[in-house]
Structure 1
Amino acid sequence: MAAYGLYTHIAANKTRSMLLLASLFVLVYVIVYAGALIIEVFNYAGAPAEYYLRAALRDVIRSLPYSTGAAALWIVIAYFFHQSIIDAVTGGTDVTRKEQPRLYNLLENLCISRGIAMPKLKIIDSEVLNAYATGLNQRQYSVTVTTGLLNALNDDEIEAVLGHELTHIRNGDVQMMVIAVIIAGVVGFSAELLFRLFFNVGNYGWGWGYGRGSGRRSDRRGSGGAILIVILAVVLVVLAWVLSQFVRLALSRSREYLADAGSVELTKNPDGMISALRKIEGRGELPGATSAVMELCVDNPREGFADLFATHPSVEARVQTLVRYAGGHYVGPLALPLPVSEPHDGEPQLESDNQPPSGPWGSPADAGEDGSASSHRPWGNPTGDPPGPWGRR
């Protein structure tokens, strides 16, 4: 059943990718139609509403080659340059084995152990704790991690995070997420341009003469239709933007559960994934990153209204799943400091997560048989196995 679920997930990702690309063109045509409505109202203010609807449709048909070409050009640009665009937003840079031997060796060992092609490795100089994978084909795949993640996590935990990202690549999740970023980007950009056009035209002045370039004012019998058409155009633009955001809902949250499971399959260490998630929890907000970029990350702390638009399951749900199905041991939220603190001199700095805070780690259930807090052996096995770091199963 697990294999069936995995392979159907991969097949579904391919189908969704094609549907999302098709929806990109549909949303672009909707925005073009809205723009044509506004232009027709500006040029022929005072005409009946039916005239604007027919005229705008003719404009869309005439401009079809240009709008289709523009959408296709954006896809081509995104295909070749999406990594550069994401790196510009997040500050990711390529690193070599010489620059990051620890990280490079961990990733290379995972790839060799499963015969996976080695992706590019990138680093973000940031105190937050997060990682993500990008790419649309074998030559483009890359895994990016923050320096905060490297400083806060031990080797087992970093290996678990890398296994999570490699599973996203193997399962085809990366292509889906990048395509969603492309769609959100082009629709958002087009909607913003159209709103600028709308407000600029409004500032220029709406004439009510019936006929292009008319300098006279007609009776205002047709002005009501023009106002309705303008409202319709604005609604269409907003609708296109909202639908582009709903693309996020096509990114099934099950992909994160499967990536966690794939990490355990690669590393044979469910507790490494659990402790990594607990350290990252609430500490992964990349400064300056858009919501689309945050959706690529191992944990997205941003949540929508009533969790409806959240693209990731909660860390608690993921941990519970690993405990129930992967044989991991439960660890509650860690009382770690947030990655960025604000000292008296006003300079933000990283509070190291390497030193355990005072007080017990995890829940009271993790205490030893003698009642001592589990902080005396923070990564020990509460079931009575030998203390010390979680070993491989």
Structure 2
Amino acid sequence: MLRNARGVFAAFVAAWLYVPAALAAAALLAFTTGGAAYVYSGVQGERTLPQELRDVPLLGDAMENLLLRSSGVQAALIGVILGALIGFLIGMIWVFLGPFQDGALDGIATVLGAIVLGLIVGLLYTIYRVVFERRILAITGARRLSRREAAYLLPLVVDAAARLGLRNHPPLLIDDGRDANAFAYTRHIVINQGLLDEFNYEREPIAAVLTHELVHWRNGDPISAAFVRGVALPLYLVQAGGGWLRERARNSVLRFLVWLAFWPVFVTVRYFVVPMQAADSRRAEYRADEGAILAGHRDGMRRVLARFRRSFEGGRNGWVAAVCASHPPNELRLEALEEPGIDYPLPDDDAPALPLPVLLTGTD
């Protein structure tokens, strides 16, 4: 659970130190101070600058001319920058101002209590995901294999586990979704019907994907991911809900309104939490690809990665989609899968077919 220490740290800071609230405060104060500075500079003109700055040789004259020529834009820009910095700092420390006013020990105890609470929530969430995983997957659409699916898929899983030197393998479930996805969870592997259809039930690419997911399962990557989500539980719930709403918004106006309501959380996850998790996420993907190679599925893994522009492990909600976006680019994963001494020119034989050009004639 603590393998991805940077991811856990980022999740804790973002969720329990209220980074989205600090971003919202920064935006609000930046807008307010920027607008006030623009209006004030327009009314006051050269008197906008304090007398002490205007008396500075050369610098005072230069700043006065700049304010007059920019028609208040310069003052507004300064107001926006200062407002954003002050608002963010206020948002970050506001929650701890009360305890620290009562004494340093009370403030430190509050911070330590938040750390302990975040770790306990992460632990409890991880236990919950492990214990109730089968029921959770059933609610989200995963089902048991049919007789024909079991006859086709189980031998592939058993063979992949044997090639990897594993004594057992997790249960395999099917999701009837048409997206070409596959996921490793703490106690199960779920493969989408869309992935089977994408390759028309060819054994080699499907076996490569199953081997890839088995490596994720064996290395505990789903446990690590679950603990990070648990530590960031308040943020995770809001991000997942907001992402779900944005994906189902039917027009651009609704999508904008969803973004406007959730933007501090979206920005925090996309530009702070995900980059801090990216290194561990990329290592896990390269490791799982390497496992497929060691199991003898180099060609199958290359076929899968060449078929998709992005990772085939697409997200079910906003949080998972954001984290999956930190996977290495498929082209770099293909490069890592190259066998020495073999030329791999572009385009790949297994790449998606390009649309045929339409030839226009001169007739009306």
Aligned sequence identity (%):
24
2:306 matches 1:319? no
SS of alignment partner, residue 204 of structure 2: helix
1:110 aligned residue = 160
Partner Cα separation in structure 1 for residue 281 and residue 311 of structure 2: 23
**Contact 2:4/2:277 (CA < 8 Å) preserved in 1?**
no
**Contact 1:130/1:146 (CA < 8 Å) preserved in 2?**
yes
2:363 matches 1:334? no
Deviation at 1:172, TM superposition (A): 3.7
2:200 matches 1:150? no
The 1:238–1:110 alpha-carbon spacing in structure 2 relative to 1, beyond 3 Å, is closer
Q: How does 1:340-351 map onto structure 2 within 5 Å? A: none
Partner Cα separation in structure 2 for residue 20 and residue 67 of structure 1: 14
Letter of the 1:179 counterpart = F
**Contact 1:187/1:244 (CA < 8 Å) preserved in 2?**
no
1:79 aligned residue = 127
2:278 matches 1:278? no
Partner Cα separation in structure 2 for residue 159 and residue 109 of structure 1: 9
Deviation at 1:72, TM superposition (A): 1.6
1:374 aligned residue = none
Deviation at 1:191, TM superposition (A): 9.1
Deviation at 1:158, TM superposition (A): 0.5
2:183 aligned residue = 132
2:3 aligned residue = 16
RMSD: 4.6
The 1:20–1:248 alpha-carbon spacing in structure 2 relative to 1, beyond 3 Å, is closer
SS of alignment partner, residue 172 of structure 2: strand
The 1:238–1:323 alpha-carbon spacing in structure 2 relative to 1, beyond 3 Å, is closer
SS of alignment partner, residue 316 of structure 2: coil
Deviation at 1:123, TM superposition (A): 1.3
What does the per-residue CA deviation read over 1:243-297, in whole Å, with 9 as the maximum and x for residues that have no partner?
Answer: 434443242423322221210111x2321211122234459485x822433478x
**Contact 2:145/2:174 (CA < 8 Å) preserved in 1?**
yes
**Contact 1:164/1:260 (CA < 8 Å) preserved in 2?**
yes
SS of alignment partner, residue 154 of structure 2: helix
Bigger proportion of residues as helix: 2
Provide TM-score, normalisation by structure 2: 0.54
Letter of the 2:286 counterpart = Y
Q: How does 1:356-371 map onto structure 2 within 5 Å? A: none
Give the aligned length: 256
2:98 to 52, 55, 72: 55
2:283 aligned residue = 254
Letter of the 2:154 counterpart = Y
Provide TM-score, normalisation by structure 1: 0.51
The 1:55–1:190 alpha-carbon spacing in structure 2 relative to 1, beyond 3 Å, is farther
1:265 to 294, 299, 317: 294
**Contact 1:261/1:326 (CA < 8 Å) preserved in 2?**
no
Uncovered stretches (5+) of structure 1, i.e. residues with no partner: 1-13, 39-48, 194-233, 301-309, 338-356, 360-393
Deviation at 1:64, TM superposition (A): 6.6
Deviation at 1:174, TM superposition (A): 3.1
2:211 matches 1:163? yes
1:120 to 171, 188, 196: 171
